[in-house]
Chain A
Amino acid sequence: GENVEQHPSTLSVQEGDSAVIKCTYSDSASNYFPWYKQELGKRPQLIIDIRSNVGEKKDQRIAVTLNKTAKHFSLHITETQPEDSAVYFCAASINNAGNMLTFGGGTRLMVKP
């Protein structure tokens, strides 16, 4: 089955700096890679996703890159703000429809003002 590894488990940055979170997956058939943000005590929310036919996707300060050959994908947050502080989860699909997901262990991002 699919295995998703996420690094680092914790990340502390100064406000305004960039943050990068990396994930690797094991199943080359995975075709959909969403990222979820979970603030303390709240439900996970989708922030960005990428499909396997695309190498990069951007949405304002957030970008995701995908390297299918190496089976890894990364989340990049630029100009970090205190409200970016949360736990971020990557995920990879385990079926063709891209809706059954295996999640990484999460990264706790702390943005210091």
Chain B
Amino acid sequence: GAGVSQSPSNKVTEKGKDVELRCDPISGHTALYWYRQRLGQGLEFLIYFQGNSAPDKSGLPSDRFSAERTGESVSTLTIQRTQQEDSAVYLCASSFSGFMDTQYFGPGTRLTVL
């Protein structure tokens, strides 16, 4: 079946502009996660959605970052007034139940802020 997909694959933007990244999870997966991966570094947790519950936003680095998810489907991560330090690969993952479950990752969106 189809895996997790993300769009766009690459995004180049100018400092100060807003960007929106999209994630399509695996159908039937109730949990969805966003991570940030800076070059040569590990994955940094950003936000977690579980079903219709309020998302856990504890990993968002600033109020410029926000995310939404409609039910158990598509999610969008929005970064407002982008800064150069926002440059990274943004990875989305989904899992079936959210309880010690395998997280399946998307291919990521490489964001470059000039």
State the A residues within 8 Å of B (CB): 4, 6, 31-32, 34, 42-46, 49, 51, 89, 91, 93-94, 97-106
Contact = CB atoms under 8 A, between A and B. Distances in A.
Interface in B36-59: 40-45, 48, 50, 56
Contact of A97 (B33, B44, B98, B107): B98
B31 to A, nearest CB: 6
Contact of A106 (B41, B102, B108): B41
A99 B108 contact: no
A100 B48 contact: yes
B103 interface: yes
Contact of B103 (A4, A42, A46, A51): A46
A43 B106 contact: yes
A43 B91 contact: yes
B31 A44 contact: no
B2 interface: no
Given A44-B43, A105-B42, A99 B105 contact: no
A94 to B, nearest CB: 8
B45 A102 contact: yes
A89 B99 contact: no
Contacts of A51: 100
B99 A99 contact: yes
Contacts of B101: 99
Given A43-B107, A45-B105, A93-B100, A99 B43 contact: no
A31 B31 CA distance: 18
B48 A99 contact: yes
B105 A106 contact: no
B45 A100 contact: yes
Interface string B1-44: 00010000000000000000000000000010101000011111
